[in-house]
Amino acid sequence: MSESIDDLIRLLDIEQIEVNLFRGYNPEVYWQRVFGGQVIGQALVAAYRTVEERVCHSLHAYFIRPGDPKVPILYEVDRARDGKSFTTRRVVAIQHGKQIFNLAASFQVREKGFEHQAAMPDVPPPEDLPTDAELRAAIASKLPPEIAKHFSRERPVEMRPVNPQNFVKPEKMEPFQHIWVRTPRSVGTAEAINQCVLAYASDMSLLDTCMRPHGVSWMSGKLQMASLDHAMWFHQPFQADEWLLYTQDSPSASGGRGFNRGAFYTRDGRLVASVAQEGLARYHE
């Protein structure tokens, strides 16, 4: 099954089954575990469904167990605090009676304050780059049929890498990458849905960054990778259907873990969101 932007919107439109309790469904992609970005996005939607007139400015999440794609995910929201300026929510994701993920999110009333930001890197525009789909199609014939089917499927977020890595024959590269991203059409103007879509997209490619200096790929079958924790900060409003540059770097890998950072910039150079993630990165000889 493909994952179009319509599929993603349906995926994020979780069902409320009781006060503070929601149910999210999984796409039929026949993969071994639930995509981490999906759980982040659905958990943020669950938190937003209990908040009024405030905007998320940060979230911090831990992946505890692999998600089972064959069963729905329950999201239980704890309304931790409703203050004058800030609102805090904790969300626990449950499958088979066990916690698989938890998220803490903070929401704020809009206000003005000091402003500064890091500059956006100078990179080629997305129109000058091949799409991620084109790059994947070029190597799909070299993969086993089931992997090729998953690898080549339609995705809800269009990606155009500035400095792509060859997944079949990876070479050692610097621990950074830049990728232009956007949804193929508008998801609406509400800040909440645009944030939830970007939270979903923020888990795409980020963990790969820490493997670039080592010249290894998950296609070898020897690499075990999984997100351990994920944090995100939203700085300014944005539209997910407009090109955003996702800059990523990995300052460190050690102890079977890789640490990665990311930043999203609009085409005119506004820094709209920042990301940090640590993931499991084991190589089995």
**Catalytic residue annotation:** 203, 227, 277
**Angle between helix 5-12 and 36-48 (nearest 10):** 50
Q: Are the beta carbons of 207 and 225 closer than 8 angstroms?
A: yes
User: Which bin fits 255, alpha (ψ -120 to 50), beta or left (φ > 0)?
Assistant: left
What would the two tokens of residue 85 be? Answer: 């300026």
Q: Which of 46, 41, 99, 119 is nearest to 77 (CA)?
A: 46
The residue among 49, 48, 73, 35 whose CA lies nearest residue 157 is: 35
202 contact partners, CB below 8 Å, separation of at least 6? 37, 40, 230, 232, 246, 262, 264, 273, 275
Q: In 174-257, where does DSSP find H-type helix?
A: 191-202
Dist CA 38 CA 116 (whole Å): 31
Burial code (b: 16+ CB inside 10 Å, e: under 16) for 152-185 equals bbebbbbbbbbebbebeebeebebbbbbbbbbee
The sign of the CA dihedral 155, 156, 157, 158 is positive
Taking the CB of residue 68, how many other CB atoms lie within 10 A of it? 15
